[in-house]
Amino acid sequence: MNIGVLNESSKIENRVGLNPGGVSFLRERGFKVYVQAGAGLRAGYSNEEFASQGAEIVFTPEETFGRSDLVLNISPLSDEECSLVREGQILMGFHHLAVAKKANLEKLLKKKVSILGYEIFQEKNGALPFIESLGEIAGQMCLSISGHYLQTIHGGRGLLLGGVVSVPPATAVVIGSGVLARSAVKALIGAGAHTIALGTEMENLRGLEEMTSGRVITLVGNKFNLSRIVKIADILIGAILEPGAKAPQVISKDMVKTMRKGSLIIDLAIDQGGCIETSRLTTLEQPTFLDEGVIHYCVPNITSAVSRTSTKVLSNLAAPFIDEIGGADLEKAFKGNETISSGLYVYKGRIVKKIIAERFGLPYTDISSISKR
């Protein structure tokens, strides 16, 4: 099987689908790997480093798609990239189809492609390997982002996250109790922030309390509690994750209006549409905007800011799955591996994730009906 690695720098994406170590692993397993020139530069990997591990350097996206059976992407495919996809190709990466353009999805379905989304890969125990690993990075990044934008010179409230003797710490409110929330809470508690988490799953809330030895305050995430707590938040982190689905908006514009001027919102759910009504997509080049006097940080590819670490994590996770898919074929792979099966949005032009079919009003095929053949 031939693997293609795109250069996605035009989408302000600094990560790359494989690092040289991942290329080496797949070459040893008998794969050919085509890396588009410059794909790894923003993550600190030169074309020469990829070539030294057996990759062939190609120079255009057309050539990358043209030579590959399976194409790796990080950010969702652009309109132009969707046009370059070949008939029957396998697309593997972050696709976030819940917020994709219907026209692009229909274009891909006509080409009978198979689409695997890192964001919906799920193991038997419920763990989300890609999301949890990147969530750990994003949680730690919330500290540096908060510390930066709470400073007076950046329009913030002029607060130190952890406080000092005789002065209390900043108050951080985390909306959610799952994968993303866990990482954010762990990092904030570690930095000394007064941390409150609101969620709807009692077992998850209990897990947060146990993880922090009771240092986090937990509340049920109903409208009443949310509307009260946002008023005291110096930092509000939207960390709601529903794999494969559009994020529910749980913080209204009216709630944002009650927040103190110079406070900070970080919407970690923005990849899936955002969980805060005032959120809108930003970029690493222009990461923030002001709405109702509140700073909003809504970068979808947040871990792209630490591109080398993120690329290593993604490559380490993806390479074994690629090996399994290419070692047999995709159908045998998903029949034999429930984690791969869980990551399928589309199989040979058929939508196999019900929530996506319903979202776009398109036909749905139960994957179990395929695996019985």
Q: Which of 238, 241, 242 is nearest to 264 (CA)?
A: 238
The predicted pLDDT at position 369 comes to: 87
* pLDDT at position 179: 83
> Is 63 within the bounds of a domain?
yes
pLDDT at 373 over 60: no
Strands 350-351 and 344-347: antiparallel
DSSP string, 209-234: HHHTTT-SEEEE--HHHHHHHGGG-S
Positions marked catalytic: 96, 271
Looking at residue 351, its pLDDT comes to 98
Tokens for 94? 């972050």
242, 295: one domain: yes
Q: Which of 281, 300, 319 corresponds to the end of one domain?
A: 300
Same domain, yes or no: 198 and 318:
no
What is the arithmetic mean of pLDDT over 231-237? 98
Q: Which residue has the higher pLDDT, 24 or 245?
A: 24
The verdict on 285 and 146 lying in the same domain is: yes
> The tokens of 62 are what?
């057309």
State whether 191 and 48 are in the same domain: no
pLDDT, tens only, 118-155:
999 999 998 999 999 999 999 899 999 999 999 999 99
Q: With 60 as the cut, is the pLDDT of residue 265 above it? A: yes
Q: pTM of the predicted model, to two decimals?
A: 0.92
The pLDDT assigned to 371 comes to 58
Average pLDDT of span 261-284: 96
Grade residue 320 by pLDDT with cuts at 50, 70 and 90: very high
Shared domain check, 276 and 323: no
Q: What pLDDT, on the 0 to 100 scale, is given for residue 328?
A: 65
Domain assignment present for 329: yes
Residue 129, in any domain of the structure: no
Q: Based on the fold, state whether residues 291 and 179 are members of the same structural domain.
A: yes
**Pair (192, 277) in one structural domain:** yes
Considering the domain boundaries, does residue 128 fall inside one?
Answer: no
- Which of 277, 300, 323 delimits the end of a domain? 300
Q: What is the full DSSP assignment across 21-76? A: HHHHHHHHTT-EEEEETTTTGGGT--HHHHHHTTPEEE-SHHHHHHH-SEEEESSP
Residue 7's pLDDT band, with cuts at 50, 70 and 90, is very high
Q: Whole-number mean pLDDT of the chain?
A: 95
Residues 335 and 278 occupy one common structural domain: no
In a shared domain, residues 197 and 279? yes
Residue type, 93: G
- Work out the average pLDDT over 31-39: 98
Parallel, antiparallel or unpaired: strands 171-175 and 194-199: parallel
Residue 216's pLDDT is 98
Give pLDDT, residue 355: 95
Structural domains in the chain (count): 2
The reply to whether 295 and 321 lie within a common domain is: no
Helices (H), the chain: 20-28, 47-52, 61-67, 79-84, 102-110, 129-149, 179-190, 202-211, 223-229, 253-257, 307-327, 330-336, 338-342, 354-360, 367-371
pLDDT in tens, 40-65: 999 999 999 999 999 999 999 999 99
The answer to whether 71 touches 92, Cβ cutoff 8 Å, is yes
Its domain, for residue 323, covers: 2-120+306-371
Last residue of a domain, which of 300, 330, 349? Answer: 300
CA 181 remoteness from chain centre? 13
Residue 372: pLDDT band (50, 70, 90) is low
Tell whether the model's pLDDT for residue 26 goes beyond 90.
yes
CATH number for position 32: 3.40.50.720
